[in-house]
Structures are given as structure tokens and as C-alpha cells.
Amino acid sequence: MRHILIRLVGLACLALAPAASLAEPSLAGRFADRGPMFGSGNAPLVARRAGPAAPRGSLFAGRGAGALIGGRPGHDLLGRSATGGPGAPMRARLRDLIARAEAGPAGYDALQVGAHRPPPRRPTRMSLREIFDWIDATPGQHHAIGRYQIIPATLRRMVARAGLDPGTRFDPAVQDRLADLLLADAGLDAVRRGEITLDTFLLNLAKIWAGLPTPSGRSYYHGVAGNRAVLSYDSYTNAVDEILGG
């Protein structure tokens, strides 16, 4: 009888083990979408790149891995947004360039591939409150969102800084406004005044958006959660130089 009881207790422990392991979040889940203030630490303010397949730049829904943008002569890096047509303001053209690296064809409704539980509606149809509710209700996954693939910590900070009401819709105008704040942080006005060099401005942008390259050709966050640059450095430099001179 004693041997039978010991065997039964052992079987019960084995049965409970899988449940305990499932309840414990993975390390990847614990650290999903975390990022420090601009210029500190070693994680981007915007999209955290992670993926089960080949390394990518931005892992938004609907885009597969591909070659470097600007890897062939004549490739147009300066795609135009709805507000960024010919002769558009400098900020709009910079946003267009960043969006090519971050969101691709999904544009303002882009979601990171790691968002296995997507929001109930397209991001542009949701209020900021609804987006934050979705983030809180779906822990353990990536939540980079929109044309500029902004992560939760950065989104909360930028929304507070802009003084936006929680009921504000996350529409293209709001997304552009938040991106402009990040461009200001990178030193757009300073580079225009000649207070910082073009190289410094390019690096500052790469510290915010992981799809942009450093002089080495790699993302500032290369290898962190699958991050990689999706622009060649020459194409990136030439495009930004053209925008600033335009």
C-alpha cells in the first residue's frame, strides 16, 4: 500500500508540472516592447524587431522578409504620404522615408507581426484609450503600431507630451504629429540650423527607428530581438541629405 501511495503522489506531481510551466511567461514575453528614453540603453523607441523566420527590419502585419530597400540604383526611397506629395514640407518627406523602413504598404494601419492577438479594429479607427486597453489586455506579445511602429512606452510618453485626450482617434494626423515629436528629439531643427552634423542626425534617427542603418550598414539594435536595418546606408544618407537640402 505504501508503494502504491508513493507512485500516486509522483504521478500527481507530473500532471501539475505542465500547468505550472504554461503559467510562467517566457523571457521574450516579459520583455516584449520595452524601450528606454531616447539616447539611452540599447533598445529602440519604436518597433522591437522579432520574428520566427529570417531577420527583418520592421515586423508589421502583411510584410515578409526582403532585400535592403535602396539596394538597386534608381530605387525611390521617397515614397509620398497623403500629406507628403511633391513640394511637401521637410517633415512629411522624412516621415515618408521612415515609414518605408517601418510600416511598408500597411501604412497607418500597420501592426507588428508579433501581435498574435490583433486589436478589434484597424488602428486608425481606434481611439488612444482603445489602443491602450488592447495593449493591457494582450500581454506577452508585441504591440508596435501604426505607420511609425511606435511601442507602448513611447506611445504613452508622446501622447502625454502632446496633451492628447484618451478619446482622440489614432488617425493619420495624430500619428504624424507623434512622429514629428520624435523627429524633433532626433535634432531636426538643430541640423537645419547647422548646430549638429548630418551624420549625427542620421545616427539619432537610427537610435529611434531600428529599421534605419548606422554607418556600419547595420541597425543600431542589430541582433536585438531580430532587429536589422532595411535601408542601405548610402541610400539612407542620400535620401535624408536630399530632403534637408530641398
pLDDT per residue over 22-32, tens digit each? 222 332 332 23
Strand partners, 145: 111, 150
Of 200, 207, 201, nearest to 222 by C-alpha is 207
- From the CB of residue 177, how many other CB atoms can be counted at a distance below 10 Å? 15
> Grid coordinates standing for 21?
510551466
User: Is 12 within the bounds of a domain?
Assistant: no
**Residue 112 — very low, low, confident or very high, per pLDDT cuts 50/70/90?**
confident
> Grid coordinates standing for 232?
542601405
User: Is 165 within the bounds of a domain?
Assistant: yes
> Grid coordinates standing for 122?
484597424
Span 230-239, mean pLDDT? 96
Is pLDDT above 90 for 153?
A: yes
The reported pLDDT for the residue numbered 232 is: 96
Q: DSSP code of 25? A: P
Is pLDDT above 90 for 233?
A: yes
User: Is 214 within the bounds of a domain?
Assistant: yes
User: Is 141 within the bounds of a domain?
Assistant: yes
Is pLDDT above 80 for 209?
A: yes
User: Is 78 within the bounds of a domain?
Assistant: yes
User: Is 36 within the bounds of a domain?
Assistant: no
Total domain count, the chain: 1
The pTM score is: 0.69
Q: What is the largest CA-CA distance in the chain?
A: 88
**Residues of the domain holding 52:** 47-245
**Encoded amino acid at 43, one letter:** A
User: Is 67 within the bounds of a domain?
Assistant: yes
Q: d(Cα 181, Cα 219) in Å, to the nearest integer?
A: 21
Lowest mean pLDDT among 15-19, 116-120, 194-198: 15-19
User: Is 16 within the bounds of a domain?
Assistant: no
Q: Output 169 or 88, whichever has higher pLDDT.
A: 169
CA distances to 75, 126, 171, 221 from 203, rounded to whole Å, are 22, 33, 28, 12
Q: d(Cα 135, Cα 115) in Å, to the nearest integer?
A: 10
The reported pLDDT for the residue numbered 138 is: 95
Lowest mean pLDDT among 130-139, 168-177, 219-228: 219-228
pLDDT digits (tens, 9 = 90+) for 37-83: 233 344 555 553 333 333 344 433 333 333 333 333 333 444 444 44
Q: d(Cα 146, Cα 148) in Å, to the nearest integer?
A: 5
Helical ranges in 24-60 per DSSP H: 27-30
